[in-house]
A and B are shown apart, each in its own frame.
Chain A
Amino acid sequence: MVAPASAPTTALRVQARPAGFFVDVASVARRAIRQIPREPEAVVPALIVPIFFYVLNIGALSKITHDAAHFSFKSFELPVAVVFAVTGVSRASALVTDIQNGYFDRLMITPVRRLPLLLGLMTADLTLVMALAVPVVIVGLALGVRFHGGVLGIVVFVVLSGIWGLVFTGLPYAIALKTGNPGAVNASFILFFPITFLSTTFVAKPYLQGWLGTVANYNPMTYILQGLRSLIVGGGGVPGPEPAWNAAFLGQAVLAIAAFGAISLSLALLALRGRVRQP
């Protein structure tokens, strides 16, 4: 069990030092990314569910939406599928596990800067959600969906979706850091429903009526879907030809993501500050 006493353990003496902000972020991210394929149960549903609903919705609803010359329901729904894929996927549950089993304390005893403990996880999340968006896009392409601007359009589509997915993680991280409670983190999934469904998920904005139309006007998801749809040929949901790049719609999508992110990431940072303060 025990090494011989003659083992040359004194060969190298090293000096601990702060690793630097970006090294810290990369170290934390590296570990988080490495864990992803080891937890397929956390990733596979995020991959299958959106594709399942996408195919189901366009199969069931295409007929009643009257695909026209400048509109196709499968184009209109592809951004919804990608939002389903990227929203709510985070390492927040893994973070709670770290907090509960004491590994987070082990990290806290090291000289790691505190912000990278969160930013490293978010870097891993961004990588994962962009990777999750790709198969959804491929399914769309296979079904005949076409993007304005070709590959560039696809890249902008995936990046915008990914950044939305990233800013959404602020909420589960805020809850994870504040409560350290796995149940509360799982419950944060409930936020997904009003944000994704009280919007132009199935019907274009001009056709939303009553209170739903009013709520959708204030829901950032409406503008994110609008921006993503503007990248797809025939995905706008309004009659008539669309410009190849709709700067106004894309700008509104970016603003909506930024506004949501300002709130969610502030909450996450406040929760991190509370968590890492010496109690």
Chain B
Amino acid sequence: MDIKKDFDSREILQLVTFRLGNEEFSLDILKVQEIIRHMDLTRVPRTPEFVDGVINLRGRVIPVLDLRKRFGLKEDEKTNETRIIVVDIDNTTVGLKVDAVSEVLRLPADTVEPPPAIVTGAESDYIKGVGKLDGRLLILLDVAKILTHTEKDALGTVQTAA
């Protein structure tokens, strides 16, 4: 992936950062519709494991994905910090369950580097890049890729189930 193409070097990125385990991730703020506290979910049968269920968001029914499961991390108890980041991509509204939301920050685009070659591959192409800020490493996610990928996986799971 050519990172230079994605970011204009003078551009300032506005990111929502959140935590999964010990790692810090971030999303483009424009993709985020809102952040809500964790609420009771209704499990949906015959969906991939990382689909936690559906919630009632002010009368709308939206699916919630557990990003821990999505990224193959160990499951963790939900805490007071657990949040659902509601993202809206091409009219698809989806909630992403994360351990905690930390902050909104600005990051000059030229401090973002492409993901190290060793972690790139079909499975991790939802990583857009890695940002550096005061010695912290920040993984920039491509939300659309998380979704399209899960869709493909979901299809696969359903087929094997049937």
Do chains A and B interact in one complex?
no
| Residues in B lying within 8 Å of A, measured CB to CB | none
| Residues in A lying within 8 Å of B, measured CB to CB | none
